[in-house]
Amino acid sequence: MSATVIDGKAVAADLRARVAQAVATLPGAPTLAVVIVGEDPASQVYVRSKVRETKAAGMHSRHVELPADTPEADVIARVRALSDDPAVDGILVQLPMPAHIDAQRVLAALDPAKDVDGLTDTSAGRLALGRPGLRPCTPAGCLILAQTTGETLAGRHAVVLGRSILVGRPVALLFLGADCTVTIAHSRSKDLPALCRSADILIPAIGRPEFVQGDWVKPGAVVLDVGINRVPAPDLGADKTRLVGDVAYDAAAARAGWITPVPGGVGPMTIACLLRNTVLAACARRGWALSTGL
Ligand code: NAP
């Protein structure tokens, strides 16, 4: 068997197009504010894409860039000001923050109605309770990708590797909300190969390059590889690197029914889901009705 590749780029482009269509029907353009502290190069690249895609979807973008040595109190004050600003619909605080800043205290200053990353205690609580709310973007992207396969999710066994606040826990709760039977595994779990082989839907999110072996994959399973790992690629030249996922792709693709590549799988869904959350947050806060489904 050879897996069907789930084209995350195409699914994300479709979602971004639907977001742009929805924005065009609204009485005003939503505004997304991104707060970044410091010069982490990966975060800078990511923030630039967010700004570009926000504008491409017809929305306003505000970019708050603070030096790495900004005191925590000042960062909190900026987030609080954005929370209080009626013109701002969504706020994203780019993580990780410099070491002297407690991200939890910064997130606590964020109005949950504008929490488009779904990371505040309120958003996490709503997800845990199965109540409506803004969902974390990468996990929401995983669920959309699983739904695009057309496979029935209800009653299927979803195994999530990783229990982080950012990915593992919320993705597990989202698949539980989709009526999957969910197992969360982590670094202390026993016999990961056997756990993985029992998965109809396997979602590795651990940040370990090609950790999940091909023969850990149940034949026909849906594999959603969240991991993004940069590894040396001597075949491309000295000092060259490439991105790989948490799954040994070729061997896993030989057994899986569906699989996401890295790059081009789960990754592109994150910004698309962020844009969707910004529209949903704007509509909920401003009492706007969406004329198209998102
Ligand atoms: P994280 O905070 O470092 O969490 C990693 C999780 O994996 C932890 O729960 C850890 O278990 C578990 N783990 C680590 N080694 C393990 C092992 N050998 N066996 C079983 N479990 C193990 O990472 P994260 O933020 O969740 O990110 C995970 C991966 O997803 C990274 O590669 C990251 O780059 C990627 N990511 C991608 C996107 C995207 O596609 N846009 C977004 C976010 C993250 P313990 O809790 O027991 O320590």
CA–CA gap between residue 123 and residue 107 (Å, rounded)? 11
For residue 245, which phi and psi values (nearest 5 degrees)? -90, -165
CA–CA gap between residue 34 and residue 162 (Å, rounded)? 27
**Distance from the CA of 246 to the center of ligand 1, in angstroms?**
9
188 in ligand 1 pocket by Cβ < 6 Å? Answer: yes
Token pair in block for residue 201: 């839907």
What topology does CATH give the domain 27-114? Rossmann fold (3.40.50)
Judge whether 117 counts as a catalytic residue. Answer: yes
**What are the pLDDT digits (tens) for 66-98?**
999 999 999 999 999 999 999 999 999 999 999
Laid out side by side, the sheet with 31-37 consists of 60-66, 31-37, 90-93
Rg (CA), the chain: 19
Distance of CA 241 to the CA centre of its chain: 23
> Can you tell me which residue has the tokens 């040994």?
248
**Atom number in ligand 1 closest to CA 163:** 9
The answer to whether the 27-114 and 136-266 domains have the same CATH topology is yes
CA–CA gap between residue 7 and residue 247 (Å, rounded)? 16
Residue spans of the chain under pLDDT 50: none
**Atom number in ligand 1 closest to CA 265:** 40
94 in ligand 1 pocket by Cβ < 6 Å? Answer: no
What topology does CATH give the domain 136-266? Rossmann fold (3.40.50)
3 in ligand 1 pocket by Cβ < 6 Å? Answer: no
Which residue's CA is the nearest one to ligand 1's atom 42? 138
**What are the pLDDT digits (tens) for 93-141?**
999 999 999 999 999 999 999 999 999 999 999 999 999 999 999 999 9
For residue 182, which phi and psi values (nearest 5 degrees)? -115, 135
Do 223 and 202 touch, CB atoms closer than 8 A?
yes
pTM recorded for the entire structure: 0.97
Token pair in block for residue 212: 């999940």
Q: Map out the domains of the chain as residue ranges.
A: 27-114, 136-266
Which residue's CA is the nearest one to ligand 1's atom 48? 187
Which residue's CA is the nearest one to ligand 1's atom 4? 164
Judge whether 50 counts as a catalytic residue. Answer: yes
Give me the pLDDT at residue 1, please.
Answer: 62
Token pair in block for residue 52: 């570009």
Nearest to 69 by CA among 23, 101, 103: 101
